[in-house]
Amino acid sequence: MEAAEIASITQHSGGAIGAAWLMIALPLVGAAVLLLGGRRTDKFGHLLGVLMAVASFVVAALAFVQLLGFAPGERRRGVSLFEFIPGLVDKVGLLVDPLSISFCLLITGVGSLIHVYSIGYMAHDPNRRRFFAYLNLFVAAMLLLVLADNYLALFVGWEGVGLASYLLIGFWQHKPSAATAAKKAFIVNRVGDVGLLIAMFTIFATFHSLTFSGVLDRAGDASQGTLTAIGLLLLVGACGKSAQLPLQSWLLDAMEGPTPVSALIHAATMVTAGVYLIVRSGPIFEGTGTAQLVVTIVGVATLLAGAIIGTAKDDIKKALAGSTMSQIGYMVLAAGVGPAGYAFAIAHLITHGFFKADMFLGAGSVMHAMNDEVDMRKYGGLRKVMPITFATFLVGYLAIIGFPLLSGYFTKDGIIETAMEHSAVLGWLAVLGAGITGFYMSRLVFMTFFGKKRWDAKAHPHESPAVMTVPLLLLSIGSIALGAYLILGNRFMIFLSPAVGAPEHLPEFHPFSAPGLATLALVAIGAAFAWLRYGAAEVPATAPRGSFLTTFARRDLYGDALNEALFMRPGQWLTRLAVFFDNRGVDGLVNGLAASIGGSSGRLRRVQTGFVRSYALSIFVGAAVLVGAWFVVGNL
Amino acid sequence: MTTHYLVLSALLFAIGGVGVLVRRNAIVVFMCVELMLNACNLAFVTFARQNGSLDGQVIAFFVMIVAAAEVVIGLAIIVTIFRTRRSASVDDASLLKH
């Protein structure tokens, strides 16, 4: 097969694709009704939220079916919405193509399941309506992000998901830790956003357009240096949103939010927006080897860092968050390889969306049963009391470690093979990351579901209600089957090729390649090691001190300490200096001036005695002096 | 011939001026002001006579009218102050210095 070029965009109206704006509008209306309606909507708020998410999914599914009806070369459909600032973005529109529709199906599909799950999870929360309003707001913003046909609208969605993420991380804002975590996520994301904004400025200065069609079709016209600059700045934006090194520090703290939020925003969808940005801007990155190299290095570094952090966490959600970082590292690595990796990046993104959401929701189910305990050292032996949660979690676990024939096996193996062809070093580091994944995920599963009960005296774990377990079951079906469906026969790569292009030679799936076997072996070793340490052996109730390596991993590779030393402390010094200068310098000057004027006025005031006769005397004296002076001058 | 009138005018003006400066009673001060105004009037009329023009006489009328208006307002103020403070001394009315 020839190297597939990116197809041009066909204008479209009518049908489900023409109504693609409904996908965004429905959840937005839901959010508006729930937020403006206030307590009046408390009774049905959660149902409206679910309804809007499901309706959005239905539109996405119909649009997907309609898209499949076109020939592959015509599967990029532009839907124009309204005229905007001429010269900047002439028309704001939506772009429905294989890439964006894949995201739409993931966001609305997994999003709907998580909405349903949240009915049960948030059942006892007095602010459940507000929670659903924010969830709907998130879905709307995320869909705008992936459906936009220009960088400006993408940026609006980009900020929208940032806002929703902030609101949802800090949903329990009465907890200081949650409020701090929300602010931290917001600030770190702003750093990335500055990168994205400057990238947009540079794009506009170079191409005089912000639409994808106007920029990406002409990416080859720009100089190598400009493309590298744009690519690196886009990468900064992607790093912020996707928690890649060096902007990774917010994701672990973001676990302060309710668990469905961690599943939807901080595992399945929002954190993958960076991968979307890189893949969507593919022609820019393909024009510059430097930017691609940096992308792959960031990906590999993050996949290892996330995996190492995951090994040391006792908090079940933080261990999963480390794992999310690591898996997105895989996606970024694949996205940096170029057209050969795009399909694997997005395929892994989709399967990861399923199995990671599955595991996060499973973790939420466990927490729900254990009075919101998150310390895995106080779990143990839960597989007997929570059979459905255990079974679905096990599926997600097997999928993420790449157990043969499950989703993660196909997609992650694809990434490793692609990276291996690109550069052996990157490939083997990715294999090593897979081995560590095998260890930390096994550790998590053994500590939670196997071994002896280490529960608190007050804990009475029970299986969660059906409204929570049914989404788990549906997600685990995706975790089992989706990978094979997407990867075998390069089905997904061919489907995506009109949107992102495809390599000259479609890869073939080798079940017994050397890297594949090495991955399996390392994963098996990691899992066995985890069984020895945490399955067969007794897990101590308090974490042992461990070596300096353990501390290194527990402290998130000193990421926070680094940020603190490099940015926070100097920032505080700067503010202190500014405050000092303001108090002593600026205020001193202003206050001193005022005090001197006040003091001299006080002295001058004494002249006013209030005695009419003394005023009269001064008038007379003055007049006499004037008359005298006149005589003197007149006589000269 | 007109020198006598001018000397009288200067004398009256000086008496009025000294009265304004040394007396405390507001009514007397007021009367002294009137004395000074009329001394000026006398000087104006004298010069008008001396120069054979009517300008000085006309100005004298203006001064009388202004003086009449001044008396009305000035007396009203003095009476009001006296009613509230039971004193007609100009030295007592010194609150505005604060």
pLDDT at A1: 32
Point out the least confidently predicted range of A58-62, A242-246, A621-625.
A242-246
Average pLDDT over residues A179-185: 91
pLDDT at A530: 86
d(CA A428, CA A451): 33
Closest CA to A258 of A118, A396, A462, A370: A118
What's the CA angle centered on B56, arms B52 and B57, to 5 degrees? 90
Confidence of residue A31 (pLDDT cuts 50, 70, 90): very high
What torsion do the CA atoms of A10, A15, A20, A22 make, to the nearest 10 degrees? 160
d(CA A528, CA A453): 21
End-to-end CA distance of chain B: 52
- A528-562 tens-digit pLDDT: 888 888 877 777 777 777 777 777 777 777 878 88
Number of neighbouring beta carbons within 10 Å of residue A68:
12
Name every residue whose Cβ is closer than 8 Å to that of residue A454 and which is 6 or more positions away in sequence.
Answer: A377, A378, A379, A380, A381, A539, A541
- A51-79 tens-digit pLDDT: 999 999 999 999 999 988 888 888 888 88
Phi, psi of A332 (to 5 degrees): -65, -40
Q: What is the pTM of this model?
A: 0.78
**Which positions in chain A touch B96 (Cβ < 8 Å)?**
608, 610
Peptide bond into A461 cis (omega under 30): no
B3-85 CATH fold? Helix Hairpins (1.10.287)
C-alpha distance from B14 to closest chain A C-alpha (Å): 11
What are the tokens at A318? 């933080």
d(CA A425, CA A139): 38
Of B20, B93, B95, the CB nearest to A616: B20
Number of neighbouring beta carbons within 10 Å of residue A455:
19
pLDDT at A487: 83
pLDDT at A275: 93
pLDDT over 60 (residue A4): no
Prediction ipTM score: 0.83
d(CA B3, CA B9): 10
**CB-count burial class (<10 Å; 0-12, 13-18, 19+) for A36:** exposed
Q: Residue A445 is which amino acid?
A: V
- A260-304 tens-digit pLDDT: 998 898 888 899 999 999 999 988 888 888 889 999 999 999 999
Q: Do A610 and B21 touch (CB under 8 A)?
A: no
Of B91, B93, B97, the CB nearest to A608: B97
pLDDT at A414: 87
pLDDT at B98: 64
pLDDT over 50 (residue A3): no
User: Which one of A612, A614, A619, A621 makes the best mutation probe of the B interface by having the most chain B beta carbons within 10 Å?
Assistant: A612
Residues 51-90 (B) with a CB less than 8 A from some CB of A: 90
3-state secondary structure (DSSP) of residue A244:
coil
Confidence of residue B45 (pLDDT cuts 50, 70, 90): very high
Max alpha carbon distance in chain A (Å)?
126
Q: Do A612 and B21 touch (CB under 8 A)?
A: no
Residue labelled with tokens 């009203």 = B76
C-alpha distance from B17 to closest chain A C-alpha (Å): 8
Share of chain A above pLDDT 90, in %: 37
What are the tokens at A513? 């390649």
Closest CA to A74 of A118, A144, A127, A9: A9
Residues 16-45 (B) with a CB less than 8 A from some CB of A: 17, 20-22, 24, 29
pLDDT over 50 (residue A596): yes
Is the CA virtual torsion A19, A21, A26, A29 positive or negative?
Answer: negative
Q: Do A612 and B22 touch (CB under 8 A)?
A: no
d(CA A282, CA A451): 47
- How far apart, in Å, are the Cα atoms of A485 and each of A408, A471, A523, A620, B53? 12, 20, 23, 111, 123
Is the CA virtual torsion A372, A373, A376, A381 positive or negative?
Answer: negative
Size of interface A-B (CB pairs under 8 A): 30
d(CA A50, CA A30): 9
